[in-house]
Amino acid sequence: MPNSKAYPYPEIVTGEKWEVIGTVNNSPEGVTDNLNRQMTVPLDRECEECGINHSRMIRRHELGHAKWSPKTMGKLKPGVRAEAVHVLEEVRINHLLYENKLPLSEPSKCLDMIQQKTNKLVYESGIAEIILMGLASKWKVPDNYANRRHATYKYNDEWVVMSSAINMIYSDDTVTEYRKNQIQYAEKVINMYHQNITNHGYGQTISYRKVQKYAEPLSAILDMFRDAPTQDEVYKPKPTPNIVPSMDEGEGDSEESNELGGGSLEQRTRNDLSEMLYRSTQGTGQWGEMFTHQPPLTVNLQGRLKGGRAYRPADFGYNPKYINRYCIDKKIFKQKMTQLGGTILIDASGSMSFNGEDILEIMQLLPAVTIAMYNGTGHTGDLRIIAKNGKRVSEKYLDEHSGYGNVVDGPALEWLGTQPAKRIWVSDMHVFGAHGDTAGFNLMADVNKTVRKYNIINLKNIEEVKEHGLKLNM
């Protein structure tokens, strides 16, 4: 009777004595300890569920670790995550097995299980988990299709199933564009780091140094995208009947009445952010440090503002101040005016332009508005309050402090979120972090989260503010 257990022999690979331990209940997780020469692997044969010998592939993979992996992971640099090193080493070992004619030609797990886990990840998990699973599940196997002329390899069944499960979300009409862009970004990262590890010159062997090199930027990505998505980030809101909006504070879900090109400004803002997420780089960046300034508001515009006065005649009230109007329109009562305002944040980088006359026109529409601008250079940026309470800074001040780069879009939007509604962000949405060369996906994701959190509306330029500012505050 043949032995029901299948033992690997790492001694043949290394020439040293090893201890081989079977996993508990034949768990499909193998571990190789090169320092103590101990290998823990499943020792069974064909899977009872699907009939594939997953365990043979796991044992082969661990033998690859015994041959090519270092004795220890080594001392990690600050910020480098062990899981980033581990998963990139998995990619390296799987590729070395392929190049040495020992490919993992069969799945190491049941394909149904791969599909179920992927479906759960794309709808419920952070991007980091998707990236880790994708890198661990993707490798090359020989392509023995006789009619194919040039390609000598294809990707393994696990990756084919996972990739197909991921692609299903793109046709799901209940899922937001934001989530679809997140998943698309995860795919880009998986493909990029797989290529970074497996590409090498002819006749060269992929060294562990390559794993160490790319583990650092991968760790930064994993740290930034570890959080699971919220329900409204994954699923579109269900259609609701039109409800008359409250006039209290202008907070909450914005009404869909400020139309532009057939849709609301709120929806346009979200759509544009999703598109910018798709276009942003696969790398990561960081915001600069922001400093807030309150310069002297030396230009008094109160005398030129329509509705600049605090009170108006009315035909109701308790203070009959305008008796002379009784025979005209009966508006004899003194009534305090509700002045339209809100907060406008202007991207004052080199791609945007405005002047003092523009500020006057905005304040004539919205007398109680607060206007701030931001820009920066290098690793720092500045937010300046340039108009408030019917006053603004001088034209000279605007000229001296306009231009340069963005640097602090994220911190400036966080500031805007603390100010009175309605909150308007005037920008072309081309955001950049510190040093002006980092337009990473994480920066756009941060902007998207802040805009949604505080119900911020994006307008592309000052002309759009003049056109829509009044309607947004009604």
- What is the per-residue DSSP string for 11-77? HHHHSS--EEEEPGGG-S--EEETTTTEEEE----S-TTT---HHHHHHHHHHHHHHHS-SS--PPP
User: Which pLDDT band holds residue 470 (cuts at 50, 70, 90)?
Assistant: low
**Which of 190-194, 265-269, 412-416 has the lowest average pLDDT?**
265-269
Instruction: Output DSSP code: residue 334.
Output: E
Look up residue 279 and give its two tokens.
């276009």
Terminal Cα distance for the chain, rounded: 86
Q: Helix or strand or coil: residue 333?
A: strand
What percent of the chain is predicted at pLDDT more than 70? 86
Cβ–Cβ under 8 Å, residues 427 and 461: no
Is residue 75 reached through a cis peptide bond, with omega within 30 degrees of 0 on the bond before it? no
Q: Which residues of 205-222 are buried (b: 16+ CB within 10 A; e: fewer)?
A: ebebebbbebbbbbbbbb
pLDDT for 246 equals: 44
> With 70 as the cut, is the pLDDT of residue 449 above it?
yes
User: Which pLDDT band holds residue 256 (cuts at 50, 70, 90)?
Assistant: very low
Look up residue 142 and give its two tokens.
């020989």
Q: What is the pLDDT of residues 397-431, one digit of tens each?
A: 988 888 888 999 999 999 999 999 889 999 988 88
Residue in 247, 214, 359 with CA at minimum distance from that of residue 299: 359
> With 90 as the cut, is the pLDDT of residue 334 above it?
no
**Which of 137-141, 143-147, 153-157, 360-364 has the lowest average pLDDT?**
143-147
Give Cα 331 distance to the centre of its chain. Answer: 55
Rounded mean pLDDT, 55-73: 95
Instruction: Output DSSP code: residue 357.
Output: H
pLDDT for 201 equals: 87
Q: What is the pLDDT of residues 196-209, one digit of tens each?
A: 999 988 888 899 99
pLDDT for 238 equals: 81
Provide the mean pLDDT of the chain.
85
Q: Which residues of 23-56 are buried (b: 16+ CB within 10 A; e: fewer)?
A: beebebebebebeebebbbbbbbebeeeebbbbb
Domain residue spans of the chain: 1-72, 76-239, 265-308+340-472
Residue in 338, 333, 336 with CA at minimum distance from that of residue 314: 333
Q: What is the pLDDT of residues 370-395, one digit of tens each?
A: 999 999 999 999 999 999 988 899 88
Angle 40-45-47 from CA coordinates, rounded to 5°: 105
pLDDT for 362 equals: 82
Look up residue 45 and give its two tokens.
């044969």
Q: What is the pLDDT of residues 337-372, one digit of tens each?
A: 555 678 999 998 876 677 778 887 787 777 778 999
Look up residue 400 and give its two tokens.
């001296």
pLDDT for 258 equals: 47
**Which of 307-316, 326-335, 435-444 has the lowest average pLDDT?**
307-316
Instruction: Output DSSP code: residue 204.
Output: -
Cβ–Cβ under 8 Å, residues 285 and 446: no
The residue among 370 and 471 whose pLDDT is bigger is 370
- Tell me how crowded residue 117 is: count the other CB atoms within 10 A of its CB: 17
Rounded mean pLDDT, 319-330: 82
The residue among 354 and 453 whose pLDDT is bigger is 453
